[in-house]
Amino acid sequence: MKVGAWLVVERRADAFNGSDEAPNPLQEKTSITVPLLTFDVKVTDKFGLQAGTTMPDVTRTAVVSRPTETLNFRENFAGLGDSSLLGWYRLGKIRGWNTIVNFGVSIPTGKTEAPRFRPELQNGNLVPMSRLQRGSGTVDPLLGVNLDRRIHGGTIVTFASVATRLPLYENGTGLKTGASSEVNVGLAREAFTHNVVAIGRLGWLHREQDGFEGTPVLVGGGDWLYFTPGATFQIVKGINVQADVKIPIYRRLANMQLDSRAIFQVGISREF
């Protein structure tokens, strides 16, 4: 069994419209900190189960300047987010590649609230008055494939992965989370010592906009290309620490929204 604890930190302070930077007159900022707990149980040599849960802490701020006063707007939520339960199955080698397929569902353990929108549409889209939701409120299929193989005399591991989340219906408040897909390719190699592995990854993320009762909502949506350098450190046998930084090198957003310059992740795992 393997147990992991992770922390993802993101600060969205810059506005973008498509691929271009846009004005941010209200100085809006969104700070996101997400602790994540994961559990991986190997049932047989070929089959296992994975479970994970999140506890997001999200704060959104803005500065509203009026002739007579300046208002500092702030909203926050913190608590249990959505969880996931997956099975994995190890296939035989395919042309030298180790192949694992993943299949499961997201579990709506996060709180949802009835969304509020402005009375007028913007280019056919609903404009939300609050963007904070802890959970999706729906059970969504999760599918993925992971590939890896050793090259260059076994000193380098090359890997690739595909993952998707496919929401199929609206939650009890009428909101439907946008579908998302992610593709990654990368290399890993020991650096300086057997206890340190350097990792480089290139990833593409696609997200659909959320929807409310069939109408698109101006939340999320777009395409991102990330370069992610990182490293794994073995502290003692069975205990590893990993850190990486996800850097967007290209983005094309579906609407004007805040985005970050980098996403930081650090974690520790213990294998029993």
pLDDT at position 126 over 80: no
d(CA 255, CA 128): 13
The pLDDT mean for the chain works out to: 93
**Answer CATH for 2-271 from 3.40.710.10, 2.40.50.180, 3.50.50.60, 2.40.160.40:** 2.40.160.40
Please calculate the CA angle 132-134-137 and round it to the nearest 5 degrees: 115
In sequence order, which residues have a C-beta less than 8 Å from that of residue 144 and are 6 or more positions away? Answer: 86, 101, 102, 103, 161, 162, 163, 164
Q: How far is CA 266 from the centre of its chain?
A: 14
pLDDT band at 130 (very low <50, low <70, confident <90, very high): low
**Average pLDDT value for residue range 94-114:** 93
Amino acid residing at 70: T
Q: What is the pLDDT of residues 156-200, one digit of tens each?
A: 999 999 999 999 999 999 999 999 999 999 999 999 888 999 999
**Average pLDDT value for residue range 107-133:** 80
Q: Are 258 and 13 in contact (CB under 8 A)?
A: yes
pLDDT at position 48 over 80: yes
Q: Are 152 and 114 in contact (CB under 8 A)?
A: no
What DSSP assignment string belongs to 122-175? BTTBB-BS----S--SS-EEEEEEEEEEEETTTTEEEEEEEEEE---S--TTSE
**pLDDT confidence of residue 131:** 58
Among the listed residues 79, 76, 5, the one whose alpha carbon sits nearest the alpha carbon of residue 39: 5
Q: What is the pLDDT of residues 131-151, one digit of tens each?
A: 556 789 999 999 999 999 999
Domain ranges across the chain: 2-271
DSSP character at residue 19: T
